[in-house]
Amino acid sequence: MDDTGALFAIGAFARRVGLTPSALRFYDDCGVLRPAEVDAVTGYRYYAAEQEPRAVLVRRLREAGVPLVDAAVVLDGPAERARDVLHAHLRRTRESAATTQSAIETVLRELSGDGAPGTLVRLGGAELARAVRQVTPAAATGAAREGFPVLGHVLLDAGYDEVCLVATDRYRLAVRALRPVSFEGEPVRLLLDADRLRQMAAWALPLTEVVVGTDGRTVRFGGAGEERELRAGEGEFPDYRLVLDATAPPRHRVVADRRALCEALVGAGRVPGAPVTLRAGASGLVVAGAPGTPAIDVAAVRTGPVPSVAFDPRVLLPALEASVGPDVLLEVSTADQPVVVRSADQGGFTTLVMPVRPAPVGGPGGSAPTA
């Protein structure tokens, strides 16, 4: 059947080319694979049959581990430059494989020999380090950690297809999903001290790859002939997947300049203990602080009549700062439900931020969470 000229909804097109709808949205955000049409009312994306070869090529390049910047050169650059980029990637891949083999053999030799099944995961060093940087600010500190010691840890949830780092202080929940280069053994869920994990991340940042090995009690991070060891913590971490699944579907979306929104939060949140309120405005979004303080307009793109939502700026600001890229996406269901904070440039990082009760008229209000 000749599909020339036909348009496909994002789900149908995703099945045709072997990509997920979330991946297509990500490639649209990055400008690598734009939809043929976008419904002006619903925002639904539609793709043309003529875009299939490009989409398949994007999928193959990403399956081969080609960075997005290099993939863009292959897709749209001169043929000679594309060949140079691919040959360079092939050389790096071969060098990485040799390094990985050596690191895995080292970790295997050092893992406990008591018969406990071991797990080995290979991750990009810089990717792991950045993931730690993104989620650890959400771990509990001070009195909150003393009251709930388990929340001072980061959950390492390692499975065959995905490795998640998760942290929460009950006011926000940060989840960063990584795709492992390889996985051996059985899935594991381990608690790692947030402070020690930050130290490990600083070491891992310049490494091409890091091999993570565990026997269920100790986690060893190996790379470049060196190793860092962390003991697994004890306790029952909250079921973050249940929390994510229970999050109400968004009714409204706001895309704003991340830096401008951060600056507005700092400006509006100068009164200690007072919440800040985000509401729809002529420019897109209005950030208002305590009564009597000037509101700040932030340019934004909105879908739907965004309700007024109050936040503790000490909670929302770190969530925005941990995101990646110039833009941030806020997904809002209602004023009293968690707001999802996503990065337009990184679909694997998600933060849930609890709203608070808005400031009463004539007072700064409180910052108790609504749930």
Which distant-in-sequence residues (6+ apart) come within 8 Å of 246 by Cβ? none
> Looking at the structure, do residues 71 and 191 belong to the same domain, yes or no?
no
> Looking at the structure, do residues 226 and 273 belong to the same domain, yes or no?
no
> Looking at the structure, do residues 109 and 145 belong to the same domain, yes or no?
yes
Name the DSSP letter for residue 213: E
Per-residue pLDDT tens digits of the chain, which is 371 residues long: 556 678 999 999 999 999 988 889 888 887 889 999 999 999 899 999 999 999 999 999 988 888 888 888 999 999 999 999 999 988 888 877 777 766 776 666 565 454 445 899 999 999 999 999 999 999 999 999 999 999 999 999 999 899 999 999 999 999 999 999 999 988 999 999 999 999 999 999 999 999 999 988 899 999 988 999 999 999 999 999 999 989 988 999 999 999 999 999 999 998 888 999 999 998 889 999 988 889 999 999 988 788 999 999 999 999 999 987 888 999 999 999 999 998 766 668 999 999 998 866 544 444 444 33
CA distances 142 to 27, 127, 136, 147, Å, are: 40, 28, 14, 9
What's CA 208's distance to the chain center, in Å? 20
Which of helix, strand or coil describes residue 222?
A: strand
> Looking at the structure, do residues 201 and 108 belong to the same domain, yes or no?
yes
> Looking at the structure, do residues 114 and 228 belong to the same domain, yes or no?
yes
Residue at 15 is within a domain: yes
Q: Which residue has 């806020």 as its token pair? A: 330
> Looking at the structure, do residues 131 and 72 belong to the same domain, yes or no?
no
Structural domain total, the chain: 3
> Looking at the structure, do residues 195 and 311 belong to the same domain, yes or no?
no
Residue at 32 is within a domain: yes
CA distance 155 to 276: 30
Structural domain boundaries enclosing 318: 248-353
What's CA 353's distance to the chain center, in Å? 14
Q: Could you tell me whether strands 226-231 and 172-178 are parallel, antiparallel, or unpaired per DSSP bridges?
A: unpaired
**Conformational region of residue 113, where left means phi above 0, alpha means psi within -120 to 50, and beta covers everything else:** alpha
> Looking at the structure, do residues 226 and 133 belong to the same domain, yes or no?
yes
> Looking at the structure, do residues 202 and 281 belong to the same domain, yes or no?
no
> Looking at the structure, do residues 169 and 273 belong to the same domain, yes or no?
no
State the Cα angle at 99 between 96 and 105, rounded to 5°: 135
Which pTM value belongs to this model? 0.67
DSSP 320-337: HHTS-SSEEEEEES-TTS
Residue at 361 is within a domain: no
Q: Is 94 exposed, middle or buried (0-12, 13-18, 19+ CB in 10 A)?
A: exposed
